[in-house]
Amino acid sequence: MLDYHIHPDFSPDAQGSIEQFCRRAVAIGMQEICFTTHYEPDPVRAGIERVIVQGNPVAVDSDWPERYLEEIERCRRRFPELTIVSGVEVGYELGLEGKIANFLSRYRFDFVLGAVHCLDHVAITSRKELDDFQSHLKPLGAGYLARRYFEYVRAAAGSRLFDCLAHLDIWRKYISSGIGAEFEPAIQPWITPMLETIVRSGVGLEINTSALRRGDREPYPAAAIVLQAVKLGVRVFTIGSDAHRPQELGEGIDCAYQLLKRFGMKPARFRDRRPICG
């Protein structure tokens, strides 16, 4: 079993060290896990975003990835029965391609997820920031936010900085509920153009099972979007739980396997930024 989306306690919103996640992975019989700690490069949000190193908050732009990669390397020696892949989840922001490229060239990751976590510097995936969402984004209206989300995904895919895009229909998490019933119809016309851009750029998609933990019946993205992605030509899919604590590791991964299997696909693994499919 694989899990390609894991947040150890380098992320302020996560609990559990890299070693604790590895111990849990071995205990539940996983073969391969990929850590994808957050990198949120937006300077406008520099006062909000932090990375935690040995219990201390440090700036996002400090040299924390060295500690992170060292710790992964140490655990590779400590847990030889487990394949441990080094990854990162980059919160994409428009216009920061140069900064992100520079970061990715400085540190050697096996796998890079690109994610849209914010629109116009306001979080769309954080419960803590729901008040900001309500006061800054909601008044802009469903039509604007749907189009804006598409623009972010199109730019993230087109940047060719990422191996896979994370949780493509994450709007289901807070935007749909925050805006109300009008958001879902507003985003529908953008789904096919989003997937066409993704196919053209060659980036893969992830099946993220954190939605199942929230009581949803479908992962991010939902099966209908995965099916359309396969039909349009997306060939690389990773699967991940988005675990923020060790007990969440591998949750829902079976469902993600089954979903891909239904469409004739298998989850990809990554080494040195290259996919190994099947």
Residues that bind Zn ion (CB under 5 A): 89, 115, 166, 242
In three-state secondary structure terms, 19 is: helix
d(Cα 136, Cα 129) in Å, to the nearest integer? 11
Nearest distance, CB of residue 115 and Zn ion, angstroms: 4
Nearer to Zn ion among residue 186 and residue 210 (C-beta): 210
- From the CB of 240, what's the least distance to Zn ion, in Å? 8
- What element of type H or E holds 6? strand 2-6
In the complex, what is the shortest distance from the CB of residue 166 to Zn ion, in angstroms, rounded to a whole number?
5
How many residues would you count in the chain?
278
Residue 18 vs 166, nearer CB to Zn ion: 166
Closest residue to Zn ion, based on beta-carbon distance: 115
**Nearer to Zn ion (CB atom), residue 164 or residue 186:** 164
Shortest CB 228 distance to Zn ion, Å: 21
Q: Which is nearer to Zn ion, 88 or 186 (CB)?
A: 88
> Which amino acid is located at 116 in the chain?
V
Closest to Zn ion by CB, 10 vs 150, is 10
CB of 51 to Zn ion, least distance (A): 14
Judge residue 61's burial from the number of C-beta atoms within 10 Å of its C-beta, 0-12 exposed, 13-18 middle, 19 or more buried. Answer: middle
Write the CA distances from 213 to 24, 176, 209, 252, integer angstroms. 18, 18, 7, 8
By beta-carbon proximity to Zn ion, the closer residue of 141 and 178 is 178
Spell out where the chain has E strands: 2-6, 32-39, 51-53, 56-58, 83-91, 111-115, 118-119, 122-123, 164-165, 204-208, 237-240, 269-271, 274-276
- Asked whether the beta carbons of 208 and 169 are under 8 A apart, the reply is no
CA 233, distance to chain mean position in Å, is: 21
Report in angstroms how near the CB of residue 14 gets to Zn ion at its nearest.
9
